[in-house]
């Protein structure tokens, strides 16, 4: 009997990212392709801004209105910073667009076999992107900012990314103090994750969504949601 070793399995740890468009199912048919094309362009520009070549992404997958990509594990910090640039690009775009566009981003890291098409790491990435609390936070800002010029993109990162990269080493454009821990639970997945809403206080948003633990909220001079001192 052959032993299934990591070498035979040919698996390596990858940093993975998923992006999709918020609320695209509600868009009219004539907007679907233009929205997808525009989002792909903005995502590509965001990759370039953090020093990642879009053409060097591995295990590319289209996911309806979004995509999933993988890079070597050492790129995970830069993948986390993609959301900062994507948020900026979307907010700038929304100031002049008839229909606002926003994005959800998920970042994870895990093993992927080079010769496989179906990966557990991508399954986990999908569970993170669909986390109920994360989507509630995104939905809150979509309602609070109907024009999309204050909120363009939100991100959820897995526990492994948080513990191994964001918290201990610091990711310049993802300050831990602006992130919030949530629980992600589905029939086949349960773990903690962290959400980040660029320029906004994620903890304050969660408090607003859960009045039982809410704290007073104000808009400061740069129109960012924050807790009172």
**220 close to 226: Cβ distance less than 8 angstroms:** yes
The whole-model pTM stands at 0.86
Residues 150, 172: contact at Cβ < 8 Å? Answer: no
113-117, Cβ contacts within 8 angstroms, sequence gap of 24 or more = 113/9, 113/10, 113/11, 114/10, 114/11, 114/12, 115/10
Rounded CA-CA distance 205/200 in Å is: 8
In degrees, rounded to 5, the angle at the alpha carbon of residue 155 between the alpha carbons of residues 98 and 127 is 110
Rg (CA), the chain: 18
CATH annotation of 8-227: 3.30.70.1230
50: closest CA among 73, 89, 87, 82?
82
Q: Is the dihedral of CA 219, 222, 225, 229 positive or negative?
A: negative
20-66 confidence digits (pLDDT tens): 999 887 777 777 888 889 999 999 999 999 999 998 998 888 888 88
What pLDDT was estimated at residue 145? 94
* Range with the poorest average pLDDT among 70-84, 109-123, 185-199: 109-123
Question: From the DSSP assignment, how many helices (H) and strands (E) are in the chain?
Answer: 8, 9
Domain boundaries, the chain: 8-227
Query: How many alpha carbons fall within 13 Å on the CB side of residue 94?
Result: 21
Predicted confidence at residue 133, as pLDDT, reads 95
pLDDT tens string 130-166: 999 999 999 999 999 999 999 999 999 999 999 999 9
Could you report the per-residue pLDDT of 26-36, keeping only the tens digit for each?
Answer: 777 777 888 88
C-beta atoms surrounding 149 within 10 Å: 17
Whether residue 76 contacts residue 161, with contact meaning beta carbons closer than 8 Å, is answered with: yes
Cβ(151)–Cβ(49) below 8 Å: no
Q: Which residue has the tokens 């009172």?
A: 228
């Amino acid at each position: 009997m052959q032993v299934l070793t990591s070498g035979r399995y040919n698996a390596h740890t990858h940093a993975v990212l998923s992006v999709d468009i918020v609320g695209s199912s509600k868009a009219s048919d004539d907007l679907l392709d233009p929205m997808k094309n525009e989002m792909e362009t903005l995502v590509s520009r965001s990759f370039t801004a953090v020093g990642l070549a879009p053409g060097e992404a591995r295990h590319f997958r289209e996911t309806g209105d979004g995509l999933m990509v993988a890079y070597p594990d050492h790129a995970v910090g830069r993948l986390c910073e993609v959301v900062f640039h994507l948020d900026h690009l979307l907010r700038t775009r929304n100031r002049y667009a008839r229909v606002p566009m926003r994005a959800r981003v998920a970042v994870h890291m895990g093993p992927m076999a080079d010769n496989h098409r179906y990966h557990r790491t991508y399954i986990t990435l999908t569970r993170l992107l669909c986390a109920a609390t994360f989507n509630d936070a995104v939905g809150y800002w979509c309602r609070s900012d109907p024009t999309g010029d204050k909120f363009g993109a939100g991100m959820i990162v897995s526990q492994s990314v948080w513990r191994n990269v964001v918290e201990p080493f610091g990711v310049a454009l993802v300050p831990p103090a602006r992130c919030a821990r949530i629980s992600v639970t589905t029939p086949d997945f349960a773990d903690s994750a962290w959400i980040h809403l660029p320029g906004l206080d994620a903890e304050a948003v969660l408090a607003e969504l859960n009045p039982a633990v809410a704290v007073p909220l104000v808009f400061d001079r740069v129109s960012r949601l924050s807790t009172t001192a």
